[in-house]
Amino acid sequence: MALTAEEAARFADLLEVNSDALVATWTDRVATTLRGRLSHAELQRQHSELRKAFQQALAGGAQTLADESAAELRAQLSDLSSTRARQGFSVTETAVSVFAFKEAVLGVLDQSGGGDALRDYVTLSAFVDEAALFTSDSYVRVREELIADQAEQLLELSTPVVKLWEGVVAVPLVGTLDSARAQVVMERLLQTLVDTGSPYAIIDITGVPAVDTQVAQHILKTVVAARLMGADCIISGIRPQIAQTIVALGIEFGDIATKASLADALRYVLGKAGQAKRLER
Amino acid sequence: MERVPVLKIGDMLLVSIQIDMEDQTALQLQEDLADRIVATGCHGVIIDISALDIVDSFVGRTLAGIASISRVLDAETVVVGMRPAVAITLVELGLSLPGIRTALNVELGMELLARERGADEWQLEVDGDDDTETPAVTTP
């Protein structure tokens, strides 16, 4: 049920005339749900801005939230939801801020009386509901952006390739390996092999909580790719439970060397490198 | 049709592929190499593919073919300098190039060949003395 132009104008007047009482009731109502996590003054400031935006939208003849004249209101609402999302408020707490506006309006409507009060209230209610839905939507969008940012940061943080010895690099894998991370690890490792000219690489999986067939597949692919480029890969840091899982799942590492600890792997690699040097002489 | 030059360095043949490999070029290279191995009596072949962006299944198979042919002629083949992206693509395609030896760069490839020959009683002129070899690689 959209607002008519006439109703919108009436509400704009109502919001203008009762502005102080409205903001006060609204702020009191929201302050109880937020339990003091935002100061009263801060809430009051936000609400008087929002009231102004509502008033302007209605005065401009906005019948739905998508209207041209409600652009300022939309900007205010998405601003509110993005700050709330970053401050860690829940989606309910954010939406309630908008819904409480209805209660405040009902308060001033009762005082002004009038036979059409109920009808007016219902139409306005639809408008406010729309605004609250819009707020929740922007809240969710901001939250998703935050999560995506964090995932990207995690991806960058968690895949260092370290030089362990002359001609030996190691990748200490920490955390769950999904396809995206495995791809990043693989590319970084192979690029480091080229850059440093190291013929040996150790993949340490001490920090990987679980190895399933998919993770094993990723590791195997990396090893085969490194072999194609002419480097030898050793897998180290296999914990007892992981060894049991690998056998239980029937994963075959073939002729790829696997060692229990990074120290064992390094000793093995140095032994192999030494053997190669002796042969050369 | 473009041809890939084959350079003789000591006891080895060096092939550096600087152009896009078409099927015909690959086949021509295979023939040229066989001729040169017999003509020079070299015991090692190094194929540098560090400039190659794309290695398709045909080029992969030709490389394997070159390796087998040179083994018959008593020469060991090492493919060097494969790019990470190429290696990843080959793995995704399921081509693991069996029977081909690989090394990260030309230097490591030469060491590998020297080691292989060192295991036999053959004495090589190459003694890890890279300074004299590096200019030879660049001169056509």
In terms of pLDDT, which residue wins out, A68 or A162? A162
- Per-residue pLDDT reduced to its tens digit, B46-102: 999 999 888 888 888 899 899 999 999 989 999 999 999 999 988 888 887 878 899
Per the listing, tokens 């302050």 go with A31
What number of helices (H) and strands (E) belong to chain B? Answer: 5, 5
Model confidence at A18, pLDDT cuts 50, 70, 90, reads confident
Please list every residue in chain A whose beta carbon sits closer than 8 Å to the beta carbon of residue B104. Answer: 193-194, 197-199, 229-231
Spans of all domains in chain A: 5-154, 162-280
Chain B interface, mutation test: which of A228, A232, A255, most B Cβ atoms within 10 Å? A228
Q: Domain A162-280 maps to which CATH number in 2.120.10.30, 3.30.750.24, 3.30.565.10, 3.40.50.2020?
A: 3.30.750.24
ipTM over 0.85: no
Helix A179-196 crosses helix A117-157 at what angle (to 10 degrees)? Answer: 30
Per-domain residue ranges of chain B: 6-124
Give whole-number Cα distances, B9 to A46, B32, B52, B116, B133, in Å: 79, 16, 22, 17, 8
CATH fold group of domain B6-124: Transcription Regulator spoIIAA (3.30.750)
Q: Nearest by CB to B84, from A187, A197, A279: name it.
A: A187
Average pLDDT over residues B24-48: 92
Selected residues 12-71 of chain B with any CB under 8 Å from a CB in chain A: none
User: Are A230 and B78 in contact (CB < 8 Å)?
Assistant: yes
> Model pTM?
0.63
**Contact at 8 Å (CB) between A235 and A219?**
yes
The chain B residue lying nearest A182, using CA atoms, is: B88
* Residue of chain A nearest B49, judged by CA positions: A229
The number of helices, as runs of H, and strands, as runs of E, in chain A is 10, 5
Among candidates B80, B97, B118 on the partner chain, residue whose Cβ is nearest the Cβ of A279: B118
**C-alpha closest to that of A58 among A136, A112, A128:** A128
Chain B residues closer than 8 Å to A190 by CB: 84, 87-88
- Those residues whose C-beta lies under 8 Å from the C-beta of residue B58, and which sit 6 or more positions away, are B23, B26
> Exposure of A79 by Cβ count < 10 A (0-12 exposed, 13-18 middle, 19+ buried)?
middle
- What architecture (CATH level 2) is domain A5-154? Orthogonal Bundle (1.10)
Contacts of A186 in chain B (CB under 8 A): 84, 88
pLDDT at position A115, please? 64
Mean pLDDT of B22-39: 91
Segment holding A96, helix H or strand E = helix A91-112
Note the pLDDT tens digit of each residue in A98-157.
Answer: 888 888 888 777 766 666 777 778 888 888 888 888 889 999 998 899 899 888 887 776
Inter-chain touch A227–B104, beta carbons under 8 Å? no
State whether A225 and B88 contact (CB < 8 Å). yes
